[in-house]
Every structure is written in C-alpha cells, then in structure tokens.
Amino acid sequence: MTGALTAAAVQMNAGDQLDNNLARAETLVEQAAAQGATLIALPEYFYLMPADDSARLKLAEDDGDGPLQTRMASLARRLGIWLLAGTLPLRAARPDRFFNSSLLYGPNGGRVARYDKMHLFGFDDGGDRYAESDTMQAGDAVVSADTPWGAMRLSVCYDLRFPELYRALPAPTLITAPAAFTRATGQAHWELLLRARAVENLAFVIAPGQCGRHPGGRETFGHSMIVDPWGEVLARQEDGEGAAVARLEFSRQADWRQRLPALRHRRLGDGTRSTSQHGD
C-alpha cells in the first residue's frame, strides 16, 4: 500500500442528552474534516453516556434502519468522508439486550461494515461493579472492512485486551478502536495496549475515546490517539473534547513490513501443533 491518508480520532465528553451529544459529534467531525481528515472516527457511546446503561437499550435500532444510523450516513455523505460511527445500539434477538455495534460509512453515505463488540467489559472490585453483559449481547465475528488503504480491522474498547482478534487474516493495514476506557484502567493500560497492537500487527491504530466525568460519576480517560506501525504516537488529544489528527504514510508502513517481515514469520495460528509437557 502506498499513498497517504489524513485521519482523525475524535474525543468527546458525552452526557445523557441524546440531541446534545449528536450535535456535538457532528461539530467535532466537521472540524476534523476542515483540517483535511478524510477518515474520521467517533468514540464508543458518542451518542449517550447515561447514569443507567439501560438507557441505551431504549435507543436500539433495527440493522440498517433508524434515526441514529440515518444521521451518521448523512453526515458521511454531506462531508464526503469515511466515517466510523464509534458505536451505535442495534437490536439483538433478546429484547433485553442490544449489540454495541461499530459502523463504518463511506463517502457516499453507504455502510461499508458492521462490527458487533465481541468482548464485553466486566469489572468488580468488591465496591464498584460494571458489567456490559447486563444490557449487551456479544458479537461473534471478526470484521475487516475493505477500504482504499487496505484492510481495516474493526474493534471496540475492551477488545484491545484480546490480541488474537487482530491476528485473523487479512493482516490489517488499519485498526480502529473507539473506546470509553475508565480513568483507572486507562492510566495503566490504554497507551500500552494501543502501541502493542500497532507494533505486533505493523498497523496504524486509530483510537478515539471518551473523556472526563459523565452522569452517574463515571470518569473516562480520554487521550485519544493515532499510533503508527512502529509504535510511535503520531497524534494525541489528551484532555477535553477535540481530535487527534495525523497523516498516515502507507509507504513507510510498507517499508517497515519489508524490513521486519514479522507477519510472514508467524507460526502460531497456521496449524502449528501445541503440546503440554511435564517432567518425571
């Protein structure tokens, strides 16, 4: 892959007012497009960060039909951009669950890919408890989108802790990871995980996040960033709303992959057998 792309990872401090969140998301996407970005990614839950997660369930839409999806498709078409609509709630078979779905739209407003978050975050330290599985249904498929820049592997937030998701073929040129990392886990692991996923896949990682305090007292980490295949952070939006914007040089990626052909050197996952051994 040769050529270049200007990408943006939008950072938001979404609240519990749907219309306000959507308007703010559109403004931030417009600002990133004005900076020359042609691939713009919104964070997880950009449409709603409520005190009660069940509020998202009430907004769940049928696949391909609903005001949230229509608005994102229209935004991509109006600006002529590739738009990753962070995550949106799509209906699941169970009426008390929804899919947390990352949707990619092309410049004509057509949907290119849908990925349902596969790994659902859960945390319980005896005091604080958080379980996405209370309201969400896990996806069951790895998704790669065909783009002009190569394969894009879609993922969401907690997926970053499961590197095998990114190892499935085709090897991704781009990885997207919209997130709402908590402040505690973000301070410890956010940049570490993003740079690791970039280096081990020799891929660009675009990671937009939520930031600040939200209704109910939840606090997210922010620090949205774009990382190159060598692990360098090309752009970062540390605190507050805005966007990390960077130029991605695919000729450099091709050069790194040629000089360090780690993707061709892989052994595990290609049928290599595994054994468990012990001494006498």
Q: Active-site residue numbers? A: 44, 117, 157
Which of 146, 141, 137, 140 has the alpha carbon at shortest distance from 111? 146
Q: Are 10 and 28 in contact (CB under 8 A)?
A: yes
DSSP 8-state class, residue 43? P
What's the token pair of residue 120? 């659902």
Strand partners, 113: 104
Collapsing DSSP states into helix, strand and coil, what is residue 55? helix
- Tell me how many helices (H) and strands (E) the chain has: 6, 17
d(CA 169, CA 19): 39
Phi-psi domain of 135 (left: phi exceeds 0; alpha: psi -120 through 50; beta: other): alpha
Tokens 């996923």 belong to which residue? 197
Report yes or no: 132 and 154 within 8 Å, Cβ to Cβ. Answer: no
Distance CA 113, CA 134 (A): 26
